[in-house]
Structure 1
Amino acid sequence: MRILHTSDWHLGRQLHRVPLIDEQHRFLRFLVDTVRERHVDAVTVAGDVFDRAIPPLDAIDLFNEVLEELADLRVPLVMISGNHDSPRRLGVNARLIERAGIHLRTAVGDCARPAVLHDDHGPVAFYGLPYLEPGLFQAHLAADKPSHQAVLGAAMDQVRADLATRPGTRSVVLAHAFVTGAEPSDSERDITAGGVPSVSASVFDGIDYVALGHLHRCQKITERIRYSGSPLAYSFSEADHPKATWLIDLDAQARLTAQPIPCPIPRTLARLTGTLDALRTEPEHTEHERSWLHITLTDPDRPHMAMERLKERFPHTLKLSFTAGHHTSDESYGTRVNGRSDHDITLGFVEHVTNVPATAPEGDLLSEGLESVRVQAAVREAR
């Protein structure tokens, strides 16, 4: 069976307030063309279909468009909800659209209910594990503690129990998680609730292929466990990350071959550093005149109207920074905290207002408070 592994579409996302809907549309055109030209048997989307729980209408339209095209091609789609998605909203009419070959797995009760697809060699069971908030799903899964490792491990125990009743069936698991050994970027939302955010790759033992989502870098954990990453760069930390999907072939004996399929690059991302005058005049930067840019100025004094003057040459400059000692109130709060976890931000706030770093017990209390808020928000969303 030939599987196209994708994830983290984040439909509706912006890059430093620049809408990316056209670039996302281009990726989905590429996806449909790849399915057709490569004779793909099934498409998987391992979570974070949308960028937020209530996506904008143009993102919903784009989502509906690709579903219709894949249905017209009679290519099954297996999809799970990620930590950015609203499971209930994404899962609306899931049972109904399953008749069209679109298999949505957004509820914890469906973890061990596979979509069973067939090829010339027999059945392949696709299990979809949506993002499982530890504090919210520990009791439902009878996990021994509210941690990512325990909750995902309990869900996988259910998967293996169901798979044991299907002799001769090859297996694919979709999961949205941070697996130990993987490399993150700055554009993933923090999931540290439940203690350590990562889980061991061994939690997926016994599965022929694991299609992961959540981290935005395309990467291999083991031969059978991989992240496809996001199809577009959603932060400047991804400027040098090749974007790709995985084309996976499972033969009759579940032997696996994997091929990365590069995604289209709508506009390159780059980081430039130098003085304002040098950046505006040096010919070596010509190749970046159409790039999305994060520019760091090293002038000893902050130049007047720096962004406006840079945009005369680099009209797609999105982020402007200054070397240490030259931060001003004009630098946005979002820029200063970009890439920091919620816990780090709250610790920084405590130190800012008290002029004293938080103690270890205070840090633990902040961590507990953040986890409580996250769980309460997840409970409200699940209702």
Structure 2
Amino acid sequence: MRILHTSDWHIGRSFHGHATLDALRGVLDTLAAQVRENDVDVVIIAGDVFDSAAPAAACYTVLSDALRALSEAGTRIIVTTGNHDSAARLGFQSGLLRDGIHVVTDPLSAGTPITIDDEHGPVHFYGIPFLEPALVRHLWPEAELRSQHATIAHVMGLVRADHAGRGGRSVAIAHCFAAGVEATPGVEREIRQGSLDVVPLGAFEGPDYVALGHIHGRQQLSERVRYAGAPLHYSFGEADKPRGSWLVDLDSAGLASVAWLDLPVPRRLKTLRGTLDELLNDARFTEHEDAWVCAQYTDPTPQLDPMRRLQARFGYCATVMHTPEGVRGPDGLTYSRRVRAARNDVELVDAFLTHVRDGEGASEREIGVLRDVIEERSLVEASA
């Protein structure tokens, strides 16, 4: 049996205020083409299908079109919820879906598989919807479920017990933060990374393959436990992480092989660093003019209207950060001491600039302007 493991579509998420639906639609079309080209039997979508619990109408259209395209490519589909999804909204149309599309939203169904046969016999797919301990512990009062670890471990125990009575091969699907993964700062923020919410790798013992969701970059925790990551880049922290899915082959004995299938990147992401003048004019940045750009300008002081100026060169400049280099540290002088030490008006203004600009006083050009202004004022006052 050939399985394609994807996750974290986040339909409806914006990228620094820019819509991503069209880009995602194109990537998912490629995913459907890959399913057809590789004769995939089952597609797994391991949670965070939508980006919010109340997606806009256009998001449902993207999902429906993607599921239809996958189904028409000749595959079965198993979808589970993630922490972004509303189980009710993701599952409300499950009864209307065509044959071969399974949406798993009920926690109590986690120990009951969706069974799909191939030439070697049955493969049992155990879909585990996102389990928030506080919301599901009443379903299993016999267990003490105070963390993601305890909750996943309990449900995986149910999976192993059910599978022991069925035999054959098995695949588990879950959405959580597993121990040993490298998270992207600021991205996988909704499931805490503290000791209570990290699920040890040992909790996933048993199945021939474990398809995980939540982490946006592909990661391999063991030969049979993996994250596929998101199909789009949703932050600059993900820029160096490839986009794609895992192509998993099961033979009669279990896991036979796993290969990576790349997905296209609609627009590259690039973080550029330099002074504002360098970013606006240096030829070394020319190749990035059509990329999504995070501009970090290093001038000692904030510059006037940097976003508008940068977007004149980089049409897809999405964010601007002031990250100065070589800023002087505090010299221990208070503002009042600087003012008392000033011997004239130029030094008085220089004292003010030094105070408000983290130790950087007036430049030679600024001092020249100050002298001209003060001299002109003196002449006016003298002639009055």
Provide, for residues 113-152 of structure 1, a one-character-per-residue CA deviation record: whole Å limited to 9, x for no partner.
2110111111100110011001111231343231111111
* TM-align CA RMSD: 1.8
Q: What is the 5 A alignment of 1:25-36?
A: 25-36=25-36
What SS does the aligned partner of 1:284 have?
A: helix
Conservation of the 8 A alpha-carbon contact between 2:301 and 2:324: no
C-alpha distance in 2 between matches for 1:325 and 1:287: 25
The AA in structure 1 aligned to 2:45 is V
Aligned residue identity for 2:173: L
* TM norm structure 1: 0.82
Q: Residue 235 of structure 2 corresponds to which residue in structure 1?
A: 235
Alpha-carbon displacement from aligned partner over 1:89-127 (angstroms, at most 9, x marks no partner): 111143453x61111111111101211011111110011
Give the corresponding residue for 1:276.
276
1:159 is matched with 159
Computing the radius of gyration from Cα coordinates, the structure with the larger value is: 2
Q: Distance in 2 between matches of 1:192 and 1:280?
A: 39
State how far apart, in whole Å, the 1-side matches of 2:148 and 2:263 are.
31
Contact 2:177 2:193 in 1 (8 A): no
Q: CA deviation at 1:179?
A: 0.5
1:71, CA displacement in angstroms? 2.6
Q: Return the alpha-carbon distance in structure 2 between the equivalents of residues 216 and 120 of structure 1.
A: 34
For residue 177 of structure 1, what is the aligned residue in structure 2? 176
Residue of structure 2 in register with 1:112 after alignment: 111
Identity over the aligned pairs, expressed in percent? Answer: 42
* 2:267–2:291 CA contact under 8 A, matched in 1: yes
Separation in 1, partners of 2:62, 2:304: 42
Partner of 1:101: 100
Distance 1:119 1:27 in 2: 29
Maintained 8 Å contact 2:83/2:190 = no
1:140 aligns with 2:139: yes
Conserved 8 A contact 2:298-2:325: no
TM-score, structure 2 normalization: 0.81
| 2:41 corresponds to | 41
Give the partner amino acid of 2:254: A
Q: What letter is aligned with 1:191?
A: I
Letter in 2 for 1:117: I
Note if contact 2:36-2:74 (Cα within 8 Å) is conserved in structure 1: no
Please tell me whether the aligned partners of residues 5 and 44 of structure 2 are also in contact (alpha carbons under 8 angstroms): yes
The SS at the match of 2:165 is coil
The one-letter amino acid of 1:124's match is V
CA distance in 2, matches of 1:96, 1:269: 39
Runs (4+) off by over 3 Å: none
1:261 CA drift (Å) = 0.5
Aligned partner of 1:209: which letter?
Y
Structure 1 SS opposite 2:153 = helix
Distance in 2 (alpha carbons) for counterparts of 1:189 and 1:221:
20
Gaps of 5+ in 2: 327-384
User: Does the aligned pair in 1 maintain the 2:174–2:211 contact within 8 Å?
Assistant: yes
CA contact (8 A) 1:4 1:35 kept: yes
Instruction: Specify the alignment match of 1:124 in structure 2.
Output: 123
Measure the CA separation in 2 of the matches of 1:194 and 1:243.
27
How many pairs are equivalent? 325
Alignment check: 8 A CA contact 1:134 1:193 kept: no
Residue 23 (structure 1) shift: 0.8
User: What residue is the counterpart of 2:350 in the other structure?
Assistant: none
Q: Is the 8 A contact 2:3 2:43 kept in 1?
A: yes
Q: CA 1:289 to 1:92, structure 2 compared with 1: closer, same or farther past 3 Å?
A: same
Counterpart residue number, 1:258: 258
